[in-house]
Structure 1
Amino acid sequence: MVLKIGVVGFGKMGRIRKATLDARSDARVVALADPYADMSDQQGVSRHTDWEKLLEEDIDAVVISCTNELIPTVAVAALAKGIHVFCEKPPGRNPQDVHRIRDASLQHPELIVKFGFNHRYHESVEQARRLVSSQSLGKILWMRGVYGKAGGPEFDKNWRNEPSRSGGGILLDQGIHMIDLFHDFCGTFTEVKSFVTSQYWNIPVEDNAFALLRNDEGQVGVIHSSATQWRHTFRLEIFLEKGFLTLEGILSSTMSYGKETLIVARNTFDENGYPLPNPEEVISFFADDRSWEKEMTEFVTCALAGDAIKIGTVQQAVDAMETVFAIYGADKSWNQSGECEQSA
Structure 2
Amino acid sequence: MLKVGIVGAGFIGRKRAGIATAHPDTQVVLVHDVQQEVAAEVAAENGGQVAASWQELVAADLDIVAVATTHDALAKISTAALCAGKHVLCEKPMGRNPVEAKLAVEAAQQNGRVLKAGYNHRYHPGIQKVYEVCAAGEIGPLMSIRGRYGHGGRPGYDREWRAIPEKAGGGELLDQGAHLIDLAKWLLGDFAEVKGYTETHFWDMKPLEDNAFGLFRTDEGQIASLHVSWTQWKNLFSFEVFGRDGYATAEGLGRSYGPEHAIIGRRNPEGGAPEIERFDYPQEDRSWELEWADFLRGIEGSATPYSAGTEALATLEWIYRLYRASSEGRPVRREEAPTV
1:136 deviation in Å? 2.1
Q: What letter corresponds to residue 295 of structure 1 in structure 2?
A: E
**Equivalent of 1:300 in 296, 300, 315:** 296
Determine whether 1:50 maps to 2:53: yes
**Equivalent of 1:159 in 161, 168, 179:** 161
Q: What CA distance in whole angstroms lies between the structure 2 residues aligned with 1:328 and 1:266?
A: 36
1:326 deviation in Å? 1.0
Q: Find the counterpart in structure 2 of residue 337 from structure 1.
A: none
- Give the gaps of 5 or more residues in structure 2: 330-337
Q: What CA distance in whole angstroms lies between the structure 1 residues aligned with 2:273 and 2:99?
A: 46
Q: Find the counterpart in structure 1 of residue 222 from structure 2.
A: 219
Q: Find the counterpart in structure 2 of residue 40 from structure 1.
A: 40
Determine whether 1:201 maps to 2:213: no
Alignment of 1:63-82 (within 5 A): 63-82=66-85
Q: What CA distance in whole angstroms lies between the structure 1 residues aligned with 2:160 and 2:190?
A: 31
Q: What letter corresponds to residue 227 of structure 1 in structure 2?
A: W
Q: Find the counterpart in structure 2 of residue 263 from structure 1.
A: 263
8 Å contact kept, 1:5–1:63 = yes
**Equivalent of 2:322 in 321, 327, 341:** 327
Determine whether 1:234 maps to 2:237: yes
Determine whether 1:99 maps to 2:94: no
**Equivalent of 2:136 in 134, 137, 140:** 134
1:332 match: secondary structure: helix
Q: Deviations over 1:263-294 (max 9, x none)?
A: 11101122xxxxx2431322111123111001
8 Å contact kept, 1:112–1:308 = no
**Equivalent of 1:122 in 117, 124, 143:** 124
2:315 match: secondary structure: helix
Q: What CA distance in whole angstroms lies between the structure 2 residues aligned with 1:40 and 1:64?
A: 17
2:61 match: secondary structure: coil
1:333 deviation in Å? 5.9
1:39 match: secondary structure: helix
2:233 match: secondary structure: coil
1:28 deviation in Å? 0.1
Q: Find the counterpart in structure 2 of residue 273 from structure 1.
A: none
Q: What CA distance in whole angstroms lies between the structure 2 residues aligned with 1:302 and 1:197?
A: 38
Q: Find the counterpart in structure 1 of residue 151 from structure 2.
A: 149
Q: What CA distance in whole angstroms lies between the structure 2 residues aligned with 1:341 and 1:159?
A: 22
Q: Deviations over 1:177-216 (max 9, x none)?
A: 0110000110121111101100111102000011111000
2:60 match: secondary structure: coil
Q: Find the counterpart in structure 1 of residue 17 from structure 2.
A: 18
Q: What CA distance in whole angstroms lies between the structure 1 residues aligned with 2:91 and 2:272?
A: 42
**Equivalent of 1:291 in 287, 299, 313:** 287
Q: What CA distance in whole angstroms lies between the structure 1 residues aligned with 2:79 and 2:166?
A: 19
Q: Find the counterpart in structure 2 of residue 249 from structure 1.
A: 252
1:302 deviation in Å? 2.8
Q: Find the counterpart in structure 1 of residue 332 from structure 2.
A: none
Q: What CA distance in whole angstroms lies between the structure 2 residues aligned with 1:186 and 1:80?
A: 33
8 Å contact kept, 1:235–1:249 = yes
1:158 deviation in Å? 1.2
**Equivalent of 1:314 in 301, 309, 317:** 309
Moved more, 40-49 or 310-319: 40-49
Give the count of matched residue pairs. Answer: 326
8 Å contact kept, 1:27–1:300 = no
8 Å contact kept, 2:151–2:231 = yes
8 Å contact kept, 1:35–1:48 = no
**Equivalent of 1:279 in 274, 278, 289:** 274
Instruction: Indicate how the Cα distance of structure 1 residues 277 and 327 shifts in structure 2: closer, same or farther if over 3 A, else same.
Output: farther
TM-score, scaled relative to structure 1: 0.91
TM-score, scaled relative to structure 2: 0.92
8 Å contact kept, 1:201–1:207 = yes
Instruction: Indicate how the Cα distance of structure 1 residues 35 and 246 shifts in structure 2: closer, same or farther if over 3 A, else same.
Output: same
1:91 deviation in Å? 0.8
1:309 deviation in Å? 2.5
Q: What CA distance in whole angstroms lies between the structure 1 residues aligned with 2:188 and 2:251?
A: 19
Q: What CA distance in whole angstroms lies between the structure 1 residues aligned with 2:12 and 2:34?
A: 15
8 Å contact kept, 1:79–1:105 = yes
1:39 deviation in Å? 3.2
Q: Find the counterpart in structure 1 of residue 334 from structure 2.
A: none
Q: What CA distance in whole angstroms lies between the structure 2 residues aligned with 1:262 and 1:237?
A: 10
Q: Find the counterpart in structure 1 of residue 190 from structure 2.
A: 188
RMSD: 1.6
